[in-house]
Structure 1
Amino acid sequence: MSLFLLNTPVFFLTIALVVLVIVLIVPIIKTKIIIISALLLGLIYPIVYYHSVYDSHLSYQQLQEKQLVSGVIEAIDDYQYTYRLTLRAKFLAHAHIPQYKKLKLQLYLVKSKYNETVLNVGDEIETKVKLKPIVSTVNEGLFDGRLFNFFHGIKYKGSINHTSHFKLLTRKSENTYQHIETSHYAWLYFSILFGDTSNMPSKFKEATKQLGISHLFAVSGLHMGIVFGISYWLARICFFYTKKLKIGRVRSYIPYVFGILCCAVYLDLSSYATSAQRALIMLCVFCLCWQINRSYISYRALILALLIIILINPFVTLTVGFYFSFFAVLSILLSINIIKRLGIKHWAVKLLVLQSAITLSLLPFSVLFFNGVSSYSLLINLVAIPLFSLFCMPIILLIGLLSEIFDTAVLIAFFDPVIQFIVNQVYTIANYKVWLSLPLITWQLALLLSVSSLLLFYIPYSLYITLPIITFYLIQLNFVSDELKIHVLDVGHGLAVILSKNNNAVLYDLGARYQEYSYVKSVIFPTLQLNNLTLSKTIISHDDNDHSGGLKDIIASDKIDTVAGFGKACHFKAFWLEDVLFESIPNKGTFKSDNNNSCVVLVSYKGFKLLLTGDIEKQREYALRNNAKISNVDLLISPHHGSNSSSTDIFIKLTNPSWVIHSVNAYNRWQFPSIKVVTRYASNNVKQLATYKGAIKIQVANDAYRITTQGQAKKYWFLVQ
């Protein structure tokens, strides 16, 4: 994906080798020096930038105590019982935070205590709160929240409860867009105007992704072009009557300067989106070339924009928008050359060529970042882009500008029914199966496919390169492995295990559900979809939220018929997967505790044994002490997440596992897995893994098994935990 995501020594050694070969080949000494200097700068600059901008951490002692915090609210998320405030810190741990430092906090404000305190984005607050680092879940092929949080500087979280000190320091000045906020579709106005999708309904976000039109809600060259055009002609009109003033050639510069200044202000309002930065830089280059009578070369302007944006923040390469923005523009430039070369005149054909180039070059990145593509994106964008460019965007931008001066409530009331119609159409079309889910793709393959697709527009003979690459990927799609695959998912404090073979899957436990958030919807179902798996059976160990919280989502998705083991129904011995035996271990004791009544399952496949234990504790473990079936297992999911109330020495010696996995989240309040439990397993020579470092995958073949962890696969030097 980017230089900063490639942390293998092999990759860096390869780059160094390529550079050394180039240096040896190039005969000119000055060129050699430039190449070596560029390599050193490329390696050193990100490290220096990290330590200057991102490297700010609280000590262990500071994390144990409440810290005085003050800062400006940048976002407010409204949940059922709390507000989640994203705070840009100005003061933390007895120190002022410089403005260039990226340090943000997520503070959860209890509604029942502070429901009378009306907060707005832009307000400055002060509070005293105990903080802990934010550690996002890491699952194969799914959104990596760690990279998102790192890039935006979101590092710590805390709760402002009934006893916390809390003070509103300053109010934000009156909202200049208060008229827009009266609209039922205010979220759409702000999405289109400033690329702010924080208040966009999740259902609409998903619909735009399904249709492949999410890019319309990112501030881009189109937005910048409209803002520049309006401001440029306003300046031209204002200076139309000043011809008699003796200001000479300076007068011709002013409309350009005014247009660029207006675009710079707009860039600030749009929170410096990557695509907006790129558009402004290319616009500045264009204006400069126009004024000094130099030819404007789009490719050079794009490369200059790339260089400046990386210098502004080298970690911008962690963002999805970076790749979509630059590859989209590159594909447009290449398709314009084709249009000129072929002498295409009709506007509809031009639009088709342009959109085809964009769609083709971005398809691999769509698979890489979103695990699929919109099957109708080409057709939908042929309609959506002109509609958006010539109708929606100019009108909404005009309403936004006029709202600075006039009451635009009448205009909004007139335009809202139009927006309602468009939104309803988006929902309607998205209801059809327009999204095509595809298996995982590596960044190497995605880059090769995208570059080779672009080459088709420049060098027709590159088809001989593109076809083998596409064939290789299609072969991967149709390849079905005979392995038993076990995914122990990273679901925070909870448990969810997917066992699959030949595109069928069995699920053990559902993870937790918190207010609007569910691990079934956000992790389990996407993992099933990503691996093209059909859920055949579901086993729920017991009725605690961290194991059964997603049951509501199982019911809502019409998967309730898959539930085979839950409570008293935990009696089965079946081959739910080919050659894979699932056998419940009888509960012969009488326990009042829900934990001890957990559905314990032994999974056997060609000599490999996996024991799933739910939350059983020492009483149930003692009752199992003479059960020879569960002896000498290869893999054990630790009982009760590694609590000291479980994993007794007798149970460990009986099961005698080669590996044990603790399903826990980082910095949990129970401090699972317990140090005593970790020590007990270690003293019995059991190798241990924990999901707080990422999901764990076990692939079982005929006579061996292989374990891979997402924590190791996605271990980056700049992520400090």
Structure 2
Amino acid sequence: MDKRLFFFCAGVSSLLIWPWLPAREWWLALALLSVVGWRSRPALACFLAGLAWALCFTHWQLGWLQQPGLVGHNQLVVGRVAELQQRQDGSNRLIVSLKSLDGQELSPRPQVLLSWYGDAPPPARGEGFSAITRLYPPHSLANPGTFNSARWLLGQGISARGYLSATLSRQPVPVAPRERLLERFRRATEGLASAPWLLALSFGERGGLSATDWEMLRALGISHLFAISGLHIGLVAGLGVLAGRLLGGRRGGWLAGALLAFGYAWLAGFAVPTQRALVMLLLWLGLAAWGRFWTGRRILLLAMALLLLGMPWLVLNQGFWLSVLAVAALLLLAGGGGWRLLRLQLGLTLLLLPPVMLLFGGVSWLSLLANLVLIPLFSLLLIPLLLLACVLLVLWPALVGPPLALLDLIFSRLMALLHALASGWSPWLALSATSQGLVLLVLLLGLCRLLPGADRLLPAAGYLLLLALWPGPSWEVRVLDVGQGLSVLVTQGQRALLYDTGNRFPSGFNMADAVVLPLLTRLGLERLDYLVISHEDSDHSANRDYLAERLAPAHRWGAWQGSQHCRAGQQARWGALTLRVLWPRQPGGHRNNDSCVLHISDGRRSLLLTGDIEAGAERALLSSGQALAADLLISPHHGSRSSSTVAFIRAVDPALVVHTAGFANRWGFPSAEVSARFRRAGVTQLVTGEEGMIHLVAGPDGWRRQGRGRPGPWYHRLNAWLNEAKPLE
């Protein structure tokens, strides 16, 4: 049975690495092969069944996106709010179950994520509404180290996203019991300094936690304490089993544990991590009450199979795999004598080090100690006290004050201490890709030493180490995928120049934290030689002060107050490269045509960075008599038709042009006219919104591109799949 469960889960999990989304007709052939091979090859049959189910489910959930004219156009939607996420910056996000689109009923009802920008309060959870919105398929910025939002959305069961500013109509519904209790809890904790933490730990409402709070949790490796999942559900069930046995014997204990765990999951809104933990726990409690003994491995595999049968896209959810790996590690480490907690926590830390490092780009050296102290504190004091407060809020509201006051006292002092630790000791170690590879190599060698004949692997390990430390090419250009904006990183070994920074938004989301800094960390770069800001537009300059503070650039050029402005004729030698400023004649910075035009060359290969200059500045550049030729061009103004004149293209004569245009941007960049001009000139064109980050290496024979197209599996290229797929009739 274990083998069949394992191969079914493996078949579903193959969804992670499909290079493309196979046609929907394939599922029937796979299902038939599974049935035919059931008797002779059951493991293979289970794998094919899992593969067929994942394929069938994916097409079933994504088929509605093939509606003609869906992407980039306004639609009339009718739906119901499944979840309302209130964020600390005052913004709101709605997870909506769509009933119809432009009057056409949808089945199954897809879930979409809508950002609310209206001044009026958004629809409440459970409320129905109709509105005009614009929807897009899941799409993520594609840069090394950037959060994969497309994978995250699908892993949550969300197949599109969009935005709302108002509704046409609403259909209020009676307030659900959980929402009433949540509102009472909000009122009871109003004014308490620790209210956001109490809401996160009791109801799973984490919107009140600030970016600084999340940085602290990550730095100390304790984020899992505020994501209601296995630890919390297991603890509550344990308390229920203990209380039930005291009152009603063995079977009463199992029942009480199950009911209490279900109640806590209900409080948390049956979030995805909570569902995973609840399924596994109920399965274990059911077997215990039935008097059957199954190994932990079988329970884990059956729970995985049940979860993936209900929601195959869970394999795209990082939290799902971290939960599975944590449970597997616990099973591996179970048993032993004294110092069990220390041994378990140390073993978990080491076994989960590789996935945590690869997923989050670093490790916390304080994680082990912090968890050794905080897990018992949360398990034995804070969570039981918080549950007591929730029960009192329902049964005896007048008595809820003392436990909440005690919780506020503990949490306020505890969080102040944790913030001080995180800021003063800097426990988070961000690791470059090379450092991560070396850590994995050391762990692999340690594991291999336990195997017979492991000494034979030492030459291979030495080769990998030499490969990791081998010097890179002379210079490289990375045109970052920052949506509708511009940011270009030029590197020579460990020296770097950044041209523009991408945008920053009122919600707090910004391209510095989302794209630029993770990439620099991955490359092992801690500072900049040059930070050049082309002009004042926010999609170019919004993160300049923040990045200047974080990266301490040696030179600041362009649109800076009190710094060296760009001026035509300015020149500098930077390592093996020559930097020449071609424009503007006089420092300005506020208009597109004031953009700093920078030419970078090693004498053979050259790059021209143009900011947002338009036809007027292009004509002035041509009349200046300066040498504009460059074999790599970043197109002016993202490929707007106001730029890239025929004469300018002829003077630059690039072999390759990159348009820094966001996916499905509202301006239609790059313009069809501009694309046609470059095409007639025989220039190869790339668009960051379609390709992701474009990494180019200077070579003796021209620019060599690293990678091709948007990297990774099928969910990175959903837009291309929709364009190729046959629209629904």
Q: TM-score, normalised by structure 1?
A: 0.84
Does the alignment pair 1:218 with 2:234? no
Corresponding residue number in structure 1 for 2:421: 429
The CA deviation string for residues 35-88 of structure 1, in whole angstroms up to 9 with x for no partner, is 331232132111101122343226343553441433215123458686444433
Letter in 2 for 1:513: R
In 2, Cα distance between the equivalents of 1:465 and 1:214?
Answer: 40
SS in 2 for 1:698: strand
Q: Percent of aligned pairs with the same residue?
A: 29
Shift of 1:566: 2.9
In 2, Cα distance between the equivalents of 1:701 and 1:381?
Answer: 49
Corresponding residue number in structure 2 for 1:491: 482
Shift of 1:590: 11
Corresponding residue number in structure 2 for 1:569: 565
Pairs within 5 Å for 1:392-403: 392-403=382-393
In 1, Cα distance between the equivalents of 2:353 and 2:456?
Answer: 17
- Consecutive unaligned residues in structure 1, runs of 5 or more: 10-22, 24-28, 241-251, 340-344
The CA deviation string for residues 509-531 of structure 1, in whole angstroms up to 9 with x for no partner, is 11122212321232212221221
Confirm or deny: 8 A CA contact 1:151 1:315 kept in the other structure. Answer: yes
Corresponding residue number in structure 1 for 2:67: 59
Confirm or deny: 8 A CA contact 2:479 2:694 kept in the other structure. Answer: yes
Shift of 1:335: 1.7
Letter in 2 for 1:35: A
Corresponding residue number in structure 2 for 1:653: 650
Does the alignment pair 1:535 with 2:533? no
- Consecutive unaligned residues in structure 2, runs of 5 or more: 1-9, 21-33, 720-729
Shift of 1:259: 2.9
- Counterparts in 2 of 1:467 and 1:120: CA distance versus 1, 3 Å: farther
Confirm or deny: 8 A CA contact 2:593 2:614 kept in the other structure. Answer: yes
Corresponding residue number in structure 2 for 1:557: 550
Shift of 1:671: 1.0
Pairs within 5 Å for 1:163-562: 165-167=168-170, 169-170=172-173, 172-173=175-176, 175-181=180-186, 182=189, 183-239=192-248, 253-272=251-270, 275-337=273-335, 339=336, 345-346=337-338, 349-407=339-397, 408-431=400-423, 432-440=425-433, 478-515=469-506, 516-533=508-525, 534-557=527-550, 559=552, 562=555
Shift of 1:370: 0.7
Letter in 2 for 1:622: R
SS in 2 for 1:665: coil
In 2, Cα distance between the equivalents of 1:468 and 1:237?
Answer: 61
Letter in 1 for 2:161: Y
Shift of 1:652: 0.9
Shift of 1:420: 0.5
In 2, Cα distance between the equivalents of 1:58 and 1:41?
Answer: 26
Corresponding residue number in structure 2 for 1:139: 143
Match of 2:131 among 123, 127, 139: 127
- Counterparts in 2 of 1:610 and 1:287: CA distance versus 1, 3 Å: same
Corresponding residue number in structure 2 for 1:26: none
Shift of 1:156: 2.8
Corresponding residue number in structure 2 for 1:246: none
SS in 1 for 2:180: coil
Shifted more, 634-643 versus 192-201: the winner is 192-201
Shift of 1:450: 8.0
Letter in 2 for 1:7: W
In 1, Cα distance between the equivalents of 2:193 and 2:420?
Answer: 19
In 1, Cα distance between the equivalents of 2:708 and 2:348?
Answer: 32
- Counterparts in 2 of 1:638 and 1:95: CA distance versus 1, 3 Å: same
In 2, Cα distance between the equivalents of 1:356 and 1:461?
Answer: 26
Letter in 2 for 1:481: G
Shifted more, 412-421 versus 47-56: the winner is 47-56
The CA deviation string for residues 156-191 of structure 1, in whole angstroms up to 9 with x for no partner, is 313325xx6353633534521334322432322232
Confirm or deny: 8 A CA contact 1:511 1:547 kept in the other structure. Answer: yes
Confirm or deny: 8 A CA contact 2:615 2:644 kept in the other structure. Answer: yes
Does the alignment pair 1:155 with 2:160? yes
Confirm or deny: 8 A CA contact 2:19 2:714 kept in the other structure. Answer: no
Shifted more, 47-56 versus 607-616: the winner is 47-56
Corresponding residue number in structure 1 for 2:727: none
SS in 1 for 2:139: coil
Let me know the Cα RMSD of the aligned residues.
3.6
Pairs within 5 Å for 1:664-683: 664-683=661-680
Q: TM-score, normalised by structure 2?
A: 0.83
Does the alignment pair 1:35 with 2:43? yes
Shift of 1:430: 0.7
Letter in 2 for 1:489: L
- Counterparts in 2 of 1:553 and 1:86: CA distance versus 1, 3 Å: farther
Confirm or deny: 8 A CA contact 1:360 1:453 kept in the other structure. Answer: no
In 1, Cα distance between the equivalents of 2:558 and 2:716?
Answer: 43
Confirm or deny: 8 A CA contact 1:602 1:611 kept in the other structure. Answer: yes
Corresponding residue number in structure 1 for 2:4: none
Does the alignment pair 1:44 with 2:52? yes
In 1, Cα distance between the equivalents of 2:341 and 2:718?
Answer: 46
Match of 2:706 among 699, 705, 708: 708
